[in-house]
Structure 1
């Protein structure tokens, strides 16, 4: 009798969600309208993250800004139970926009380096202060999203240069979100003020470590972008393998295979409060009253 040694492989859903730091460049040419649209979009996504049952999609959130200097407006906090503190931090950010200034490019580069280093240190400090029993609850990695109205390529190069001398072992990715101005054109900067320098960052570009995203500054588009934070970030799992046979006509040819990961594109309605209302009910008597009935542990293991 041949015993099968196959064991189903399972993993905990949303077990590797990163902490998110939003780094806001509120300096020139950022406008108050762009700041408010971005703040509203982020807060809407955070509210949704607080409402979804099961594993935490956004386990921790922090807010920082660059204007005439660097300021950590809100240190990393769990969003559940601290939402009022996060809202107050965004209100403070909007007030800073009234004092938006245009600073020299070298000074801006220094602030970018200071910002990334400070955010990494804050993440490290929070991780080390967690007690032994709760340490596993802290996010294993950090993602920084920088929102700016400056030339996105220039900001991307500044960030690539900054991380070359920093310990980025716990840094998952840096996103540069360049907003469009009110005229619908991507905000650009004068070459005299922000020269694009040639930096040897091929090792970063190869893995898309610092990613540039150019979007309109509307609340709808920004909300769609930030909703990607809610997706499962554990993509190191093989869902499907397609094997191709060797070619009979080509001697010495070898077989090849295609490994696929299935990415989540929709949120399960049953993970939302009163999610049963999104279900088609054939029988009136089968309609549940109250919550969706989904337990905390249900749907937490993926195969």
Structure 2
């Protein structure tokens, strides 16, 4: 596997020093023995392709560094060995086509050890890939496994706990079991589904001292998209991202000692993807001056700790929306694993108390970003200010607010109290004809972004266009690559499948032809023989 390719322009804009080492690699295991696999297959493939085209198109460090995909029929089958997602969309689409072509419902009996074998084989492949890339300075050492199944999640946890007792799980950060529920009816094509945009509810279960997450979702495109989009979030918990500093004497800022501050330790989470990272402005013209902003820290994990010092409280009705700019970010209590449990609990309670008090007072907070390091007096730092807004969800919304230097003059006439009926009548009639919704649901609006990105990813690059025609690679992959993706490690020992009705598994002896460590694989195969 080639090392990460970053253009010189982006290297100047986004320093690559451990910027995304916190992001885990991903293994997706799809149990295709579901009785409703026909519908699940189509919606799963559409959602997976949509989210991965986003991951391939986002500028900056990798949100999903590596991905591997298994399917479970009679036994496990590796459709996609570990690939760098950002540079492998054509290969990913081939894999998704393989997934779509799988036999439909009623073809495979439920049960068996295929899921367990896929977990073991995936961990083995990740371990070997890590040995191969260690010499190149790769710092990614953890993997998360997501299992999609129609079987009972709790029953699968028991099965995994029993079978994985003797397996090395050091590199496994989290095991996520998604129980897919069949809908009672299918919505007609073109009708939007009214589903919440948040992550599905889940239960954390202790299994072999590992973080195991059991969830249930419906088999529709939006639910699967929201599940896979959690991969785009920053998953680093090695340290808190932000300190919110308040005067220890309450909100009476003038009487509080400046050296005595109350510190709430927080993490930041993106609410939206920055469209600039998906458009032409992400080709090296990104704003390098914004490297120290909260937006950069939330989108790409930074090595430095950021601090926001609260300077004033503001009445909510006194803040004009026109002076807020930029993308919103969500502030929440930190989940840093290096903090003591008691400190985490106290910090969370204090954070929730702050949200409650701000809502009760109908207040917002005005805060400024503290300099990260003590700078010489001649090095003038440009300060950023933010508005912090409470919500009922026990989180705080953070948005940048305009300052004097950025504000443009504006004079607006006062709104007249009365207007002639000849003017108001047509306007009122037009408004009365509109459909009224109580709340805005962004899931009801689409702008063809997925189609645009897929089309853009299929276009030849400038480097390919510059090559002579006889030296250009073929647009379509050779036939040997069109077939099943070959696994990169020798298969695990397992009982042979009683019947091979449809296709031989891709994880087989000849799958080691392109192994990263051929000598080790040869020794392994000799043992198997």
TM-score, with structure 2 as normaliser:
0.42
| Aligned twin of 1:14 | 20
Give the conservation status (yes or no) of the 8 Å contact 2:35–2:105: no
Determine which structure has greater relative contact order: mean sequence separation of CA pairs < 8 Å that are 6+ residues apart, divided by chain length: 1
Give the conservation status (yes or no) of the 8 Å contact 2:25–2:144: yes
Q: Which of the numbers 210, 213, 219 marks the counterpart of 2:215?
A: 213
Q: Which of the numbers 254, 263, 285 marks the counterpart of 1:293?
A: 285
User: Aligned partners of 1:98 and 1:221: how far apart in 2?
Assistant: 21
- The alpha carbon displacement at 1:135 in A equals 3.5
Give the conservation status (yes or no) of the 8 Å contact 1:41–1:223: yes
Counterparts of residues 130-209 of structure 1 (less than 5 Å): 130=133, 132=135, 134-136=136-138, 139-183=140-184, 203-204=206-207, 209=211
Q: 1:14 to 1:261 in 2, by over 3 A?
A: farther
| Aligned twin of 1:111 | 114
| Aligned twin of 1:282 | none
- The alpha carbon displacement at 1:125 in A equals 1.1
| Aligned twin of 1:192 | none
User: Aligned partners of 1:295 and 1:92: how far apart in 2?
Assistant: 41
Q: Which of the numbers 51, 72, 77 marks the counterpart of 1:66?
A: 72
1:96-134 CA distance string (max 9 Å, x none): 2327534363xx2x22221111000010111112262x2
Q: 1:258 to 1:148 in 2, by over 3 A?
A: farther
| Aligned twin of 1:231 | 233
Gaps in structure 2 of 5+ consecutive residues: 1-16, 186-203, 249-261, 306-529
Q: 1:203 to 1:237 in 2, by over 3 A?
A: same
Aligned to 1:114, the other structure's residue is in SS state helix
1:174-204 CA distance string (max 9 Å, x none): 11111111317xxxxxxxxxxxxxxxx9753
Q: Which moved more, 1:260-269 or 1:27-36?
A: 260-269
User: Aligned partners of 2:106 and 2:287: how far apart in 1?
Assistant: 48
| Aligned twin of 1:89 | 95
Aligned to 1:175, the other structure's residue is in SS state strand
- The alpha carbon displacement at 1:89 in A equals 1.3
1:231-273 CA distance string (max 9 Å, x none): 1111222233789x9xxxxxxxxxxx98633141324516513
Q: Which of the numbers 221, 240, 244 marks the counterpart of 2:243?
A: 240
Gaps in structure 1 of 5+ consecutive residues: 1-10, 185-200, 246-256, 277-289
User: Aligned partners of 1:143 and 1:88: how far apart in 2?
Assistant: 23
User: Larger Cα Rg: Structure 1 or Structure 2?
Assistant: 2
- The alpha carbon displacement at 1:17 in A equals 0.6
| Aligned twin of 2:124 | 121
User: Aligned partners of 1:103 and 1:16: how far apart in 2?
Assistant: 39
Aligned to 2:87, the other structure's residue is in SS state coil
User: Aligned partners of 2:30 and 2:43: how far apart in 1?
Assistant: 13
- The alpha carbon displacement at 1:295 in A equals 6.5
User: Aligned partners of 1:258 and 1:66: how far apart in 2?
Assistant: 49
Aligned to 2:168, the other structure's residue is in SS state coil
Aligned length: 247
Give the conservation status (yes or no) of the 8 Å contact 1:116–1:162: no
User: Aligned partners of 1:97 and 1:242: how far apart in 2?
Assistant: 58
Aligned to 1:178, the other structure's residue is in SS state strand
Aligned to 2:30, the other structure's residue is in SS state strand
Q: 1:216 to 1:205 in 2, by over 3 A?
A: farther
- The alpha carbon displacement at 1:291 in A equals 5.4
1:188-233 CA distance string (max 9 Å, x none): xxxxxxxxxxxxx9753876x2211101111012101111100111
Q: 1:125 to 1:205 in 2, by over 3 A?
A: closer
Give the conservation status (yes or no) of the 8 Å contact 1:270–1:292: no
